[in-house]
Amino acid sequence: MRAPDETANADLADVDRVLGGDVRAFEGIVRRWQGPLVNMAWRYCRDRGRAEELAQEAFVRAWRGLGSWRREATFSTWLFALAANVYRNDLKRFPAVTVPIDEAPEPAELPAHDAELHERRRNEALRRAVLALPLRYREPVVLYYFHEMDVGAAASTLRLPEGTVKARLARARGLLRKRFPHLDEGHATQAVGNLTERKEA
């Protein structure tokens, strides 16, 4: 894996080449960012085919708008914000198939030998329940975990203040805990506290 500085320099060089008329240089950008963009789209819709379509659309939009990148932020920050915009707008037009969060099923307790299966089902149910959250709470959750629990990065992608993102995350966690009361026993309060602690650390 490349160091962040190396990636940023490679992005910059490729962008300059594309703007100079070398279309093939865009391939370097797609190679570097296809994984993150597809994974980000997957977290928005949990549909592999649609995730690739959305990521492809985001790359094409990025290609069209390369000239509008002002280089005040890193290329990845600009690209993620653009992609989030594409995914959000598309999902507003064609929402992912979800159930209301109150109807999201919580798997019942299973015998001990099925513990692993039970855990998988429970984890998947929780991930799907994220999609059932209202959009204003869903997006901060999706981007916070996509950015490896970095509130600042999630806030940059959403173009929102960090405080707003933290507040929405706390609210989203509250909704998820309410729906899955057995999930976070013993850690419920700490989970919200971790958000600020981790940032301060």
Partner 1 sequence: MKHGEIDNILASEEELVPSSGFLGAVMHRVEEEASAPPPIPFPWKRALPGIVLALAVLAWGTVTLVRYALEAGSGFTMSLPDMHLAAPVARPVEQAAWVVGALIISAASWLLSRRLAGGRG
- Does 2 participate in binding partner 1 (rule CB under 8 A)? no
- Does 23 participate in binding partner 1 (rule CB under 8 A)? yes
Binding-residue total with partner 1 (CB under 8 A) = 45
The full DSSP string for the chain is ---HHHHHHHHHHHHHHHHTT-GGGHHHHHHHHHHHHHHHHHHHH--HHHHHHHHHHHHHHHHHTGGG--SSS-HHHHHHHHHHHHHHHHHHHS------GGG---PPP--GGGHHHHHHHHHHHHHHHHHTS-HHHHHHHHHHHHTTS-HHHHHHHHT--HHHHHHHHHHHHHHHHHH-TTTTTTTHHHHHHHHHHHHH-
- Does 31 participate in binding partner 1 (rule CB under 8 A)? yes
- Does 176 participate in binding partner 1 (rule CB under 8 A)? yes
Nearer to partner 1, 48 or 159 (CB): 48
Binding residues for partner 1, rule: CB under 8 A, are 23-24, 26-27, 30-31, 34-35, 38-39, 42-43, 48, 51-52, 55-56, 59-60, 63-64, 122-123, 126-127, 130, 141, 145, 148-149, 173, 176-177, 180, 183-184, 187-188, 190-192, 194, 197-198, 201
